[in-house]
Amino acid sequence: MKKYSILAVLAVLLLSCGGKIKLMVLLLLMKCVNAAKKVKGWLLQIWKQKKLEWNVLNFKEKIGERLSEIRSKKMLSIKG
């Protein structure tokens, strides 16, 4: 929400100013948008990495459960 209010203020300044100030505000606005895109990209990369780690952990957990099931079945068949 805060990001959008900053961009709105910059847009109003852009419309109300003239000349060099308008160009400076436009550049500042572009920097804010580019920074927001970079942060979004970083967060997306972190999220994808964490999701991959969670998938690997879940896979290892399921394999472990399956191995223990197989071991217990073998033990039952040996005893029985």
Residues 31-64: pLDDT tens digits? 877 887 888 888 888 888 888 888 888 888 888 8
Q: Pick the more confident residue, 78 or 36.
A: 36
Name the residue range of residue 7's domain: 2-79
| pTM metric for this prediction | 0.43
CA 52 to chain centre: 12
More confident residue, 1 or 49: 49
Share of the chain above pLDDT 90, in %: 0
Rounded Cα distance, 61 and 25, in Å: 53
pLDDT of residue 62: 87
Domains: count for the chain: 1
Q: Measured between alpha carbons, how far is 65 from 59 in angstroms, rounded to an integer?
A: 10
